[in-house]
Every structure is written in C-alpha cells, then in structure tokens.
Structure 1
Amino acid sequence: MSIQPISRRTLLRGLGAAVAVPWLDAMMPAFASPTRGTFPVRLGFIYVPNGKNMVDWTPAKDGAEFELPSILQPLSPLREDFNVLTGLTADKARANGDGGGDHARALASFLTGAQPRKTDGTDIRAGVSVDQVAASAIGDQTRLSSLEIGCEAGAMAGNCDSGYSCVYSSTMSWRSATQPLPKEVNPKLVFDRLFGGGSTAERAKTRAARQSVIDAIREDYKELNGKVGRSDQQKLDEYMTSVRDIEVRLERAVKMPEVKVPEGVERPAGIPASYEEHIKLMGDLFVLAFQTDLTRVATFVVANEGSNKPYAFVGVPEGHHDLSHHGNSAEKKAKIAKINTFHTQMLAYTLGKLKAVKEGDGTLLDHCLVAYGSGNSDGNRHNHDDLPVLLAGKGGGSVKTGRHLRFPKETPLNNLWLALLQRVGVKQATLGDSTGTLSL
C-alpha cells in the first residue's frame, strides 16, 4: 500500500481539543532516508565554566583511533556519537588591551565572537550570539524560537569581574549587541514555558492578560519616546523589540496546536536541593524541548563563568574557581579533575537521554548538533586558545562522528558556529571574529 506523506502540522482532533502529534514516518518526503534530511536538526549549546585540566581532556591521537582521556571517560558508551575538537580559539575572550576580566569575557564571547565592552554600568555591549542567529532564521517554525536555561542564577547588573558587568559572567545568549537574554534556572518555570501551566482556559486567560499589557505598553511607548534623548530612545526601541517578540510568540501560540506533555513527564516542583538533580532535571527539559519540537535552538549554562560553587558531593568542598587557580598543585589538580569528570557525567546523562529517543531509523541525538565546552582553556593560565570543545550528534547525517579533530592553532571558535548554522539551513557569511567555515 502506498503511504502518502502528511504535514508536520497535522493535528489529532477529538473532544474539541487539538493536539500536536509527534514526528511520524509518514511526515517524511517519499523515498527520503529516515536519518538524513527528514527530521529537523536541533542546535544546542552547553557551557561549563573555568576551563579544564587540559592534559586530562585532550586525546593523544587524532582521527578515529583516539582514546578517551580520564575526564572524557564517562562518555565511553557514546564514543561514536561525538567529536572532540582541538585548536579552537576565542580571541575576544582575551584582554586585547582591556586588562583583567577573563571570566566575564569568556562567556560573553563564547557564542558571539565579539569583544565585550568593559563596563559595570548599563552601557553593555557584546554581539549577536550564534543561537540567536539561528533562532531568527528558523524560530518561526516552532512554538519557541529558542530556549535559554541554566543551573546558577546570575545578576544582570553590578561588577562581577574586574570591572565587567555581572551580565557578562552569567549570560551566553545575546539577541543583539546590547540585548542579553537571561537564562531561566527554575525547572518549574521552564516546564511552564514549554508546556504551559494550568488548564487550557487558564492559559487562554493568561495570554489575553499579556496581550492587554502589551497594548498598554505600546501606548505608553509612543508618548514616552517623544520625551527622551537619543540614547534612551535606543533603549526603548530595544525594549519594544522584546515586547514585539512576546507578542509574536503569543500569536504563534494561538495558531499552533496545544502541546501534549509526553507520557510519564511531571511538572517539576521547583529547584532541587541537589545540584546534580538540578542539572539532570534541566537536561531532561533540554531534551523534551527538542523531542516535542517546541524549539530547535537551546542554550544551557551549567554554571556561571568564574563560578566558585563547591562540589562536596564528589569530595571537593572547596570552590571551583579557587581550585582552578591550582598553581600546578597535584592535590588541587586532582580535585579539579573530579569536578571536570562530574560535568562530563552530566553531559553523558543528557546525551544519553537524546540518544534514547527514537526518530525514524535513528535517534534524536542523530538529528542534533550539541556543542559543549568552555571559553577558558586552562583555568590556571586563563588562556583562551586550544579550548575544550566537544560536538555531539550527527546533524541529520551531515557530520561524521567518533573522531578527534585537530585544527590549526588560533582557528576561531566562530568558524565552528558558521559550520553549525550551515547545517540547520542558515546561510551566514561571517559571525563575530570568524575567518571562514570550519570543515567537519
């Protein structure tokens, strides 16, 4: 029997409700391979702070015959599902004449490739991040254009690193050079953003209330904009851009079918007391967002750059940042290795969840590109070359995995981001300090 392809927008209708169906084989174009070019490619970015002990991270051999160093051992079951990338550099995380502040610059430049302005005031400036370039191009295909989550709250103002605003140390995603997108650290609120809280009627009431607020804001904006100077007008314009984005999302939510929470998934109660459980829960939501096709772009900051969080639960009661300045102390490096390994275990958990979701003849991980790493290399040296970067997923068959790829020294990290954009169908000639598109 010949099966006709059906639309991804197909709904199940019953009892007056419209529910989105999951990806079905019948939604694929006729004669298409179920593992390449049929399911959407999801783009994810996971950040860990303070660099790594690079001797324990970097494989000795290049190519497919490499052995996993100690820090990467938790990824052994997934060895054929990722590449380790060596030689990439975040030049704009360097001082370049701006003095101290490596941690703030490391996170602010990680996805932007732009030198953040040194200020602890309101005149912040970095660059558009790669996730938001993707979101602006493909975000209209999903309920949420992008998702920004994390496990450590951070201030959006004040001095957090040698004269740099706290926003730089805690924010990875930037909609524009002056518009950082704060991450959500409460799993309950992330769940509500994905699936909505309350009944259908309650959600409709909430949407109506939000629209009323937006209408009122628009009227106030028109009046206020004529009374302020050019600098404040720019800030108001940026604010209204965010308001319009919310309005677009509300309109999109009305047009799109209701989202059904996958069976067995419960709404989180809040932030778990255990940091490990917090990371796992956020990882689950990261996976769910991709699995339900609520978004195809997500960022996940495991901890803020320069974080001094203790890890007593793995035998390290000292602060992470303090230990990263180990001064070649064998004892301190051993403790840093425990923290680094724990972070890899959490990555293995999330990637394992992605791999457990079947899509066609492949898995959700096969249809993802998840970049994991830090804008610092060796935390003791505060260097930003030879960054610890790992790329998981096959990108719908566009990336060959199971390799250690070594690139020429000083290769811009943003060359990798251009390569990822290309694989989600976004044509971008340059981004930040890129010099070309990385060959994967």
Structure 2
Amino acid sequence: MSDAKMTRRTLLRGAGVALALPYLEAVAFAQTGKVAGEAPLRMAFLFVPNGINMAHWTPDYEGNLTTLPSTLEPLAGMKDHFNVLTGLTQNWAFAHGDGGGDHARSAAAWLTGCKPKKTSGADIKVGLSADQLAAAKRGHLTRFPSLEIGCERGGLAGDCDSGYSCAYSNTISWRTEASPMAKETDPRLVFERLFGGEDTNESAEARAARQLNSKSILDFVLEDAKALQGRLGAHDRHKMDEYFTGIREIERRMAFLEKAGKETGVSGEALKARMSGGLPDYADHVKLLGDMMVLAFQADITRISTFMFANEGSNRAYKQVGINDGHHETSHHGRNPEKLENLKKINRFHVEQLAYILQKMQSIKEGNRTLLDNTMMVYGGGISDGDRHNHDDLPLLLIGGGGGTIQGGRHLKYKNGTPMTNLLITMLDRYGVPGETLGDSTGKLQQLF
C-alpha cells in the first residue's frame, strides 16, 4: 500500500496482486476531513430475455406497493427499494418494415433506443448505449469504466435471428453505434480481471502460483492488509473483514464448481463452456457473477455494469424448477395454460436470483446508507409478451435509492408508448451526466426522484 494518504484508489499490493479497498470511513475522512463521507453512486442494468407472463408481473393497482404479483413475491422483503414501471416502450425494437427478428432488435434497442441495422455481416449498427454513455463521461473515476457480464456465451458474428447479427442478441452494451461490448461469462476470468492485478505478466505468474497451491488472493496482500488494519477504527476493521470474507467465499465457491467439473472429467475449454452455460447449477452461476458485481461496486473498481441473465432468444431449459422445455419455446405459449405456468416459473426463478443480489447489496453498509441505497438499477427486458413479441408496456423495475433520491415502493404507470430512453436519460442526469439525449428520448420522466 504505497499511498501515504488513503484514497478510494488505494490498493493492497503483493506478488502481482493489486486489491482495491471497500468504502471506509477512514478514506472518507482522509479525503474530506469528515467521518461520514458520501459513497459514490453506481448504475447497473440487469437483462432477462424472451418476455414475461405479464398477468403475474404487473400490479393491478397504482401507487404504493402492497401485495405483490406472484412473480415479484421473492422481492416482498425489499419492496421499499424498487418501483414497478409500466407503459415504457422501445419503439425501435418493433419491425418497422424489417420483418422477423424481434429478439435481436429487443436486446439491441434496450439501452440504445435506436433501430439496429438488419444485417448478419460485419456492418452492424445500432447506437451508443446508456451504460457506455455514462462510462465515457465518468468511467475515468474507477479502474474499469464499466463491467459487462452474463451467464451465456455467444459470439458477436453470424446470424442469430432472422438475418440479424448475433451481436444484437448477445450484448446490450454498445461503446459506439458499431462496437458492441463483449460480456464475460466465466466467473474465474471475471474474478481475475477484477481482483488479479494490474501488471498482466506479473499477475499471470501470481495467479498460476496461487491456483497451483490453492491459495487465496488475500494471502498475497496480508502484509499490506495488516499494515492497513492498524490505521483503521473498529467499524472499518469490520468492513474489511466483511469484504475479505466475501472474496474468500467467492473463491471457495469457484473452486468447488471447478472441482466438480474435473471430477466428472470436464476441464479446460469444456469446463469453461460448462460454466458459461450455467452448469453444474445455473443459480450458482448467476449468484457468483452477481456477487462479483457487488464486490466491484463495494471496492469502487467500477460504478457501471450490465448483466445479461441469458442471451435474448435463449432456449435454456430450467430443470431447477422442473421445466425441461426451452425458455424461448415456452415463451411462445399461444395462451396454452401449461406453457404460461412454466413461463411464470421461469420469470419467478429469475426474480429469486435478483432478490439474492439485492439482499447482498442491502447488507453492505456505507456510512448512513447501504450499497443498494447508493445504486440505481434497471431489471427487465425488451419484450413484454413473448408470444406477441411486443415491445411496449415493458416489464421494468427501477431498483435502489439513487444516493437517497429515489422513493421506492411504488407502481408508476406511464402512458403506453413512453420511450424507455426517457428513463435512461433521467438516470444519466442523476448519475452526473446531464443534458444528454439517447436514441428516441423525448424528455426526462417525472415522479422518479
């Protein structure tokens, strides 16, 4: 720890590892002269594909949330921390004369509000996404401007949906109108990228030694950590212990999953593919990546993230909840009661994973608030009813306190057809990127802040 004065960029160092610090009161005091410093604001976008069984998603009343629809019931203990938004639309996800390809268009337009060019070649084009607009303006404040993660691998070339490039279906983040941001799906690679070190060659050596000897990344920074502990108060020491426990738990779970793969004869690229496919357990995969996103926010490694629970058009089976048919197939329900019930189960399963992530964020204290209080998150997708492939009245949750400025616990109903991009530019304004337009935005939303 070479910094004479602690800052939010202070790192614990050792043998090629450079580990960032969580939010600490001592850091806030060093920077502001006050014990209770403000933690930074974060922003995240969590995407689910193929539409929703909307009858079990949308509250049948406006205003304060009371009894939640069955799909949202896993969030009952968190209902003061989110708003259900209805009526928002991504107009450019509709065909507009381009025929089939609603899945590709829905993902491509979700954070851009732009019409994707119908092509399966290299001449892809859509628009800058909200997360990357924020990263371009404020990403320099953290080690990584943004973090892109997901649970399904997928290339950025080829035809994935009726003549649309796979780039449109497999990412929601666009650095420029022609440059998609590839997501990382392998938990091990996400972990090493976030916590492994800044010197690529040196960190590779340290990583090899650590994995060979089954050592924790924390073992390499013990000397710096002990020196730091002597400069911290009791509350900050507890925060450090909490942070280190979180890192060790992630390492333990990754090692368990990797060992399970090797014991069944799966290793190397096959193991990576298996992990990226959510096996041996998809819920573990979501939670591992969610935990790493939370740790990255906690340590101020990044303040912006996108997380695709699955690619748009995904036909994953959800055997965890007793569904052997593929998700995409199930979403084309044709009003079949059995398929609608199965779709509801898949939707609820995703919300259960969301609840886990939110509870973790709510448990992390940052001064007088929590990490969840200091975050703005959008959860949802670019298709409403998967059978109709409609892109209006989208299933969307606005989650988190926005640094103490968002009132939660409400169902806010906007006029159907209101651009979803109006929500995005409203969030960007709160994030410190004011005066921007995005895609088809027409103005900021009311009632949010």
TM over 0.5: yes
How far has the Cα of 1:33 moved from its partner?
Answer: 6.9
1:422 and 2:429 are equivalent in the alignment: yes
Question: Unpaired segments of 5 or more residues in structure 1?
Answer: 207-256
Partner of residue 244, structure 2? 262
Question: Map of 1:288-307 to 2, 5 A cutoff?
Answer: 288-307=295-314
The AA in structure 2 aligned to 1:42 is R
Question: How far apart, in 2, do the equivalents of 1:172 and 1:324 lie?
Answer: 20
Compute the displacement of 1:157 (Å).
1.1
Report the Cα offset of residue 19 of structure 1: 6.1
Matched letter for residue 378 of structure 1: D
Equivalent position SS for 2:377:
strand
Q: Which range is displaced more, 282-291 or 293-302?
A: 282-291
Mapped contact 1:60–1:67 kept (Cα < 8 A):
no
1:43 match: secondary structure: strand
Return 5+ residue gaps in structure 2 as ranges.
Answer: 207-223, 226-239, 259-274
Moved more, 360-369 or 268-277: 268-277
Residue 401, structure 1, aligned to residue 419, structure 2: no
Amino acid in the other structure paired with 2:425: L
Q: What corresponds to 2:43 in structure 1? A: 43
Corresponding residue SS for 1:407: strand
The superposition leaves residues 95-119 of structure 1 with CA deviations (integer Å, 9 ceiling, x where unpaired) of: 0111110000000110000100000
Give the whole-Å Cα distance in 1 for the aligned partners of 2:309 and 2:423.
21
Shift, 1:30, TM fit? 5.9
Q: Is residue 114 of structure 1 aligned with residue 114 of structure 2?
A: yes
Q: Percent identity?
A: 53
Structure-to-structure mapping, 1:3-402, within 5 angstroms? 7-9=7-9, 20-26=20-26, 27=28, 29=32, 38-196=38-196, 202-203=202-203, 262-263=244-245, 264-267=248-251, 268-269=254-255, 271=275, 272-402=279-409
Alpha-carbon spacing, 1:17–1:167, altered in 2? closer, same or farther (3 Å): closer
Q: Which amino acid aligns with 2:244?
A: P
Going from structure 1 to structure 2, the CA distance change for 1:9 and 1:294 (only over 3 Å counts) comes to closer
Shift of 1:345: 0.3
Residues 1:17 and 1:299: Cα distance change in structure 2 (over 3 Å) = closer
Q: Deviations over 1:259-282 (max 9, x none)?
A: x97333443345241111111111
Of the structure 1 ranges 269-278 and 7-16, higher mean CA displacement relative to structure 2 is found in 7-16
Quick one: structure 1 residues 325 and 287, their matched pair in 2 at CA, closer, same or farther if it must change by over 3 Å? same
Deviations 1:279-309 (A, max 9, x none): 1111111111111110000000000101111
Contact 2:17 2:196 in 1 (8 A): no
Deviation at 1:86, TM superposition (A): 0.6
Q: Deviations over 1:47-86 (max 9, x none)?
A: 0001101111001111114421010001011111111111
CA distance in 2, matches of 1:99, 1:19: 49
Give the whole-Å Cα distance in 2 for the aligned partners of 1:13 and 1:374.
40
**Whole-angstrom distance in 2 between the partners of 1:59 and 1:7:** 44
Given that 1:61 and 1:67 are in contact with CA atoms closer than 8 Å, whether structure 2 keeps it comes out as no
> 2: distance between equivalents of 1:142 and 1:194?
12
Distance (Å, rounded) in 2 between the aligned partners of 1:433 and 1:56: 29
8 Å CA contact 1:169–1:306 kept in 2: the answer is yes
| Whole-Å separation in 1 of the counterparts to 2:16 and 2:415 | 59
Following superposition, the deviation at residue 21 of structure 1 comes to 3.7
Q: Cα gap change, 1:73/1:200 in structure 2, threshold over 3 Å: closer, same or farther?
A: same
Instruction: Report the CA distance between 1:198 and its aligned residue.
Output: 11
Q: Aligned pair in 2 of structure 1 residues 17, 124: CA closer, same or farther (>3 Å)?
A: closer
**For 1:16 and 1:378, how far apart are their aligned partners in 2?**
49
Q: Distance in 2 between matches of 1:180 and 1:59?
A: 35
155 and 15 in structure 1: CA distance in 2 versus 1, 3 angstrom threshold: closer
TM-score (normalised: structure 1) = 0.82
What is the SS of the residue equivalent to 1:113?
A: coil
Q: Helix, strand or coil: the match of 2:300?
A: coil
Displacement of 1:205 in angstroms is 7.7
Q: Deviations over 1:182-238 (max 9, x none)?
A: 1110000000110116999722889xxxxxxxxxxxxxxxxxxxxxxxxxxxxxxxx
Cα distance, 1:435 vs structure 2:
0.5
For 2:340 and 2:11, how far apart are their aligned partners in 1?
54
TM-superposed deviation, 1:11: 6.2
